[in-house]
Amino acid sequence: MSNSYKYIDPDYTYTDPKTGLLKNLQNIKDPDVLLFVESGVVTKRLQFLYENPLKINGTDSLFEIHKYLFQDIYVWAGKKRIVEIGKDGKQFFPTSHFDNAFRYIEQLISEFKKIPKDNKRNLAEKLAEILDNVNYLHPFREGNGRTQREFLRLLALEKGLTLNLNPPDNISVYERYMKGTIESDVNTLTELIFELINTKNK
């Protein structure tokens, strides 16, 4: 959770007004403990998805993934955010126009599914476009990055490809991923994804 994020939430929909922490199912009041517990439960859930992958059925699968990953910690897991979010002075997609955004992303997913499995360049380009739009949409109050990376991994998997946008101890991948998503740099994301996708069981 970055301090550079800003949220318009005057009613404290998601946070405890006393601690400023996200309200959570385990009633944790310490930020370090919340970070530790959240990371632990999500990592365990991600491991399960690696072993039991979901089939991507359009944008509904974004909500399915988010709910699965965060169900142990947040009551709003799998639900669209109802507050506005900005980061480093840039506003994410306004909630009032979510329906239009989801329709557009559905179209991108449909286009991706039509690309031949052996056309890695086109697959990488379309995955980068999907990632850029999902990141700008930022549909959840928390957990967008982890959800969208898993969403892309599962999309690639349907083409018989592996894609890990969060490899351990690889600062270069992390920095390029952050640059691409923060700056909406689709070219950077395309090159990164193209380098990372491999044929499954290679």
Q: pLDDT above 90 covers what percent of the chain?
A: 89
Q: Is the pLDDT of residue 195 over 90?
A: yes
pLDDT at site 168: 82
Residue 87 has pLDDT above 50, yes or no: yes
Reported pTM: 0.94
pLDDT of residue 199: 81
Strands laid side by side in the 90-91 sheet: 5-8, 84-87, 90-91
pLDDT at 37 over 80: yes
Q: What is the pLDDT of residue 201?
A: 61
What's the pLDDT at 2? 45
* Whole-number average pLDDT of the chain: 94
**Mean pLDDT over residues 126-154, rounded?**
97
CB half-sphere exposure, 170, CA atoms < 13 A: 12
Q: Which domains does the chain have, with CATH numbers?
A: 5-199 (1.10.3290.10)
The answer on pLDDT for 3 being more than 60 is no
Helices (H), the chain: 31-51, 60-70, 98-114, 120-137, 144-157, 171-182, 186-196
For the cut 70, the answer to whether the pLDDT of residue 189 exceeds it is: yes
Q: Over 70: is that where the pLDDT of 192 sits? A: yes
Interaxial angle between packed helices 60-70 and 31-51, expressed in degrees from 0 to 180 and rounded to the nearest 10: 120
3-class state of residue 91 by DSSP = strand
In the predicted model, is pLDDT for residue 1 greater than 80? no
